[in-house]
Amino acid sequence: MLPEFKTDDPEGTKNSILKKIKKIREELPILLGKKERTYDRVIRPLNDLVQEMQIEFTVLAHLNSVKNSEQIQALYAEVLPEITAFYSDLGQNEELNLVYQEILKNENDTLNVPQKKVLQDAVTQFKLSGIGLPPEIKKRIQEIQVRLSDLGNQFSQNLLDATNSFELVLDRLEDVEGIPESDLNAAKTQDGKYRFTLHMPSYMAYMTHGPNRSIRESLYKAYTTRAPQNGKLIEDILLLRNELAKLLGYRHYVELSLATKVADSEKTVLKFLRDLAKQVRSIAEREFVDLSNFAKTLGIDSLRAYDAAFVSEKLMKSRFDFDEEETRPYFEKESVVSGTFQFLNKLFGLEFRKTSAQVWEEKVQVYDLYRSGKLLSRLYLDFESRKDKQGGAWMHDWHSRNRIANEEILPTAFVVCNFPVSTKDSPSLLKHRDVVTFFHEMGHALHHLCTKIEEPPVSGISGVEWDAVEFPSQFLENFATEAGVLKIFGRHYKTGETIPDSMIAKLKETKNFLSAMGIVRQLEFSLFDILIHEKNYTEEDVHSILQNVRKEVAVVIPPEYNRFQNGFSHIFAGGYAAGYYSYKWAEVMSADAFFAFVDKGIFDPELCNAYFTEILEKGGSENAMVLFRRLLGRDPEVGSLLKLYELKESY
C-alpha cells in the first residue's frame, strides 16, 4: 500500500499526532496485561502503533524543513515536546523493558534474526533511557531529553532565520564579472540588479566566481557569523548532554554516543582520526602552499579563508584547463535523474516509474520503484532551492516496510536538495558536485526503499549503526565520476551531444584536486565534535577547542570572527553529536566496496546482487560490520580511502 502526502491540513496533522500518542499510552497497559506476552501479541502491535504515529509526525517535520512558515514552525514546536516526552516515557517503562528481555529469552529459538535485533536494540535503548534508575533520576532524564529536543529545534530555526534575513544587492557589472550566466540569471532582480544571499547555491556562486575580494569577505563574514545566539544554545546543549551521560553511568557524552555505534571506544575513534590526519596533513600543507603561491599571481599576497574557493577555481582552470561550469550544460537536472535511474536499473535491476501523487510543491516529482516487476516502494524528489526550505541536502524516510493484518506497507522516502532554480528561460543545470550530491542521497534512499525487512525498527535505514549509515550513500556517490556512468545521462541540454571523453577525463583529474585539504577539514570537524563532548564547556571554551583543533590539523586558518560552530547543525540539531567521525569511518567501508565493484567491471551480476541482498535488503536487521564482512569476506581497509583520493604517498 502506498499513501498520499497530505499538506492541506497541518493543524489536523498535529491533532492526529497528539491523538495517536494518547492512544498508544492507553493501549500500552492493555498490551502489557496480556496473559501470553509474546513478540506477536505485544511487540509487533506496539511497534505498529508507534509507526502509525511516527508517519504523521514525519509529515509535520518534513514540512518544517521544506515548506517552512510561521504556522508550521508553531505546530512543530508545539508537538515536538510531546513526541520527545512520549519516547522518553516509553524508554523508561520498567515493565516494558522486562517484557522485551523476557521475550528475548523465552523465544530465542523461534525468533528470526530481524526480530532478535529489534529486541536487542530496544534493550540497549532502555538502558540509555535510564531504566532501573530511581524515579527522580528518570524524571530528570526525561526533562533533559525534552529540553535538548527543543534546543535543537531552536538552533535550526535560528540558522534558517539568519540565512533568510541576509541579502547583498549589487548593481555594478564589474562586481559580477566572471560569474556563470546561469548563476547570474538566478541572482538577477526585476530592476536589473543582482541579489546574493546566504543560501548555498547563491552564496557559493559568488564565493567561487565573484571577482570583488571585499564582497567575498562580506559574504563570508555574514555566513560564518550567522545566528550568534546559537553560541549560548551550544553551551546549554553540551551541559545537558553531559549531565544525561553521567546520569546513565557514562563518563561523558562521547561514551554514551558510541554505545550504539560500530566503533568500540573514544580512543579508537581519536586514533582513527589522528592517524588519518598524520597521513594526509603534509600533503594538505603542500596543496595550501601551491594555492597560496598561485594566489599571488592574482594579486592576493596573503590567502584568506574567503579567498579559498575563488583561488581554487582559478588554479583548477589554470592547471587543468578546466572550468566546472563547462560541464553544467551536460547535467540538466531531468536528464541526470532519468540517467541515474538507468544506471541503477543496470546495477540492481531497479525500475523507476513516474507517478502522479499529492506533493507539497509543484516541482516535486514522485516515482514508484519496481524490481523484477514487483512494486517495492515510492520516492519523492524535491530538488530546487526555495526560501522556505532548509539549506543542504538530505534523505528523510517516511514509511518503513511493514505488514499489518496481512496488508503490506511499502517504504517511502524523500530526497531533498538545493539545486539551482529552473526558470521559463533556463532549466536547472547542475554542477558535477550536485550530481555527486544526488547520487549520495540516492544511496541513502535505496538503503531504505529496497529493504525486504518487515520489522520497522530495523527496516531500511532504521536500526543501522550511525557510523555505518553513510556507507551506502558514499558507496553510490563514488560512481558519479565513472565514465560509463556519466555517459548514460551526460547530454548537452541544447544540442543533445554526449559529454566528451576529454571532459570526463578532466572531471576525473580534478575530482581529487586539493583532496587532502578537504580531508583535513572534515577531520577538523570530527575531532572538534568528539572533544567538545568530553566535558561541560562554555561558549568561549568551545571556540578555544575549535581553534586548537585547527592548529592540530587545519591548513586554512579562518579569521577570529568565524563562528563555524554556530552553524554546525549536524551535531547540534541533527543526529551526529559525538558522531560526525561517522562520515570518514563509513567512507572507508564505501571506498573498499567501490573498488571491489570497479575491479570486476562495475556491473558484475554476482557482486551487484550480493550488495543488493546483503546491504540494501537487510537494512538495519544485522550489525553493519557483519553485513560488510559477508559482502567482501573481510574487514574494511583504510588504504582504500587513500586510494580513492589518490593520495599515493600514503598507501
C-alpha cell at 280: 594526509
Give the separation between CA 577 and CA 239, rounded to whole angstroms. 13
- Other CB atoms within 10 A of residue 159 CB: 22
DSSP code, position 479 = G
Query: Which has the closest alpha carbon to 205: 332, 328, 77, 358?
Result: 328
Tell me the H-state helices in 248-363.
Answer: 253-258, 266-297, 308-320, 333-348
Q: Strands 412-419 and 374-384, how do they pair? A: parallel
Active site residue 441: yes
Helix (H, G, I), strand (E, B) or coil at 196: strand
Element (H, E) at 415: strand 412-419
3-state secondary structure 102-164: HHHHHCCCCCCHHHHHHHHHHHHHHHHHCCCCCHHHHHHHHHHHHHHHHHHHHHHHHHHHHHH
CA atoms within 13 A on the CB side of 123: 14
582-599 vs 515-532: helix crossing angle, rounded to 10: 140
Give the separation between CA 275 and CA 603, rounded to whole angstroms. 34
CA atoms within 13 A on the CB side of 74: 5
Q: Provide the residue type at 199 as one letter.
A: H
- Residues composing the chain: 651
C-alpha cell at 230: 546559537
Give the separation between CA 630 and CA 616, rounded to whole angstroms. 13
Residue where the block lists cell 549560548: 232
User: Which of the following is catalytic: 56, 255, 351, 441?
Assistant: 441
CA 359 to the chain's CA centroid:
22
Q: Provide the residue type at 431 as one letter.
A: K
- Other CB atoms within 10 A of residue 229 CB: 12
Q: Provide the residue type at 89 as one letter.
A: D
Tell me the H-state helices in 478-600.
Answer: 483-489, 501-511, 515-532, 539-553, 569-572, 582-599
- For the sheet with 394-397, list strands across it: 350-355, 365-371, 374-384, 412-419, 394-397
Q: Which residues form the catalytic set? A: 441
